[in-house]
Chain A
């Protein structure tokens, strides 16, 4: 089975900061990699698909990059609405999620 490892687990940041979250797959996932945002008590919302494609309606401050086994989610200028938990997910094999990265207010 493919394992997805995110880092860091928690990230303290301020409004306006540039953030990067990393996700590593235990084997190649052919760029079938998505990023989700989840707020407390809500379902996840997809932000990025195919590693770098922005889902419709998602602000352009979110971007994804990477290939093979290493991927990143970048928020170019953190906004108040962005404090949430972020998950990566591979959908090359069994839709495995990373363990999550909580972005909290510094």
Chain B
């Protein structure tokens, strides 16, 4: 069964750091680009970051550039999001998602259930 499971969310104070993880199973995760997408309470979807299948290419939304770092360990089928200098505006459900084709542009076909980050003093 193809599956993504996020973990690592919680409640943190502004300015602190947190690392999210996303465990993939049921497919060869090293063949796919992977993304993080977030959704603030009651708001829409916001793309956060991409990492290519081989981890050579990484892209970030302007709102997180310089503070967040996406990485992956293909030997562990795990995706990460290191989040530093957190602000209240980072409060959201964080989803990891698979880009649904290994060799051409495709939307996100597999999503995790999300992990909740709350930034609050």
Contacts and interface: CB of A to CB of B under 8 A. Distances in A.
A91 B101 CA distance: 12
Given A43-B112, A43-B113, A43-B114, A91 B107 contact: yes
Interface stretch (B20-28, B44-52, B72-80, B81-89): B44-52
A92 interface: yes
B39 to A, nearest CB: 9
A46 B35 CA distance: 15
Nearest to A92: B105
A69 interface: no
Nearest to B108: A46
A100 B105 contact: no
A23 interface: no
Interface residues of B, number: 21
Contacts of B47: 89, 94-97
Contact of B59 (A34, A92, A94, A97): A94
Interface string B25-68: 00000000001000000001111001000000001011000000
B106 A87 contact: no
Given A94-B61, A95-B50, A49 B106 contact: yes
A92 B104 CA distance: 11
A8 interface: no
17 contacts: A1-B62, A34-B108, A36-B107, A42-B113, A43-B97, A43-B113, A46-B108, A49-B100, A55-B109, A89-B108, A94-B47, A94-B59, A95-B47, A96-B47, A97-B47, A99-B44, A100-B45
Interface of B: 35, 44-47, 50, 59, 61-62, 95, 97, 100, 105-109, 111-114
